[in-house]
Amino acid sequence: MKLSTKGKYGLYAMFYLAQHTDQGCQPLKSVAEIGVPEDYLEQLLGTLRRSGLVTTVRGAQGGYALAKSPEAITVGDIIDALEGPLTISDCVGDERCCHKSESCASRRVWAYLSQSINSLLQSITLRDMLNQENFDLDPLTRN
């Protein structure tokens, strides 16, 4: 399992928008300062808009903004919108890829790990990322 640039850059962009929530819409050029090519960033933000996570405003004062508060958007929401749910193994997402999937003990482990990863991603909000000093990276002590 490896996160693609879609997921990484999408999270960078959403974090940037969360940092600038009180400043209104952010022009694409400003968001691109995170180090993502504007054309690619525009595609990612379009996908996030269609998923209900970003809003857009046209015109001179237009740009991109979060569609919800930072507390209401999770890292899992962002990754799901751009990549789909993460899976440790192909057989977790598609039983047909292996003839042993019905009885495979390993597949149950991969499914458990995939579910745990996705649950953890759903528990981390953009607000948590903004409040890094309060952000507990130890999953055993998270609420």
- With a cut of 70, say whether residue 135 has pLDDT above it: no
- With a cut of 90, say whether residue 25 has pLDDT above it: yes
Q: How far is CA 29 from the centre of its chain?
A: 21
Q: Which residues pair with 54 in a beta bridge?
A: 66
pLDDT at position 141: 56
- pLDDT tens per residue across span 73-83: 999 999 999 99
Using pLDDT thresholds of 50, 70 and 90, give the confidence band for residue 67: very high
Tally Cβ neighbours within 10 Å of residue 73. Answer: 24
Tally Cβ neighbours within 10 Å of residue 50. Answer: 10
Answer whether 114's CB lies under 8 Å from 86's CB. Answer: yes
- With a cut of 70, say whether residue 138 has pLDDT above it: no
Helices (H), the chain: 5-19, 28-31, 38-50, 75-83, 90-93, 105-123, 126-130
Percent of the chain at pLDDT exceeding 90: 58
pLDDT at position 122: 94
pTM of the full predicted structure?
0.84
d(Cα 59, Cα 85) in Å, to the nearest integer?
34
Using pLDDT thresholds of 50, 70 and 90, give the confidence band for residue 121: very high
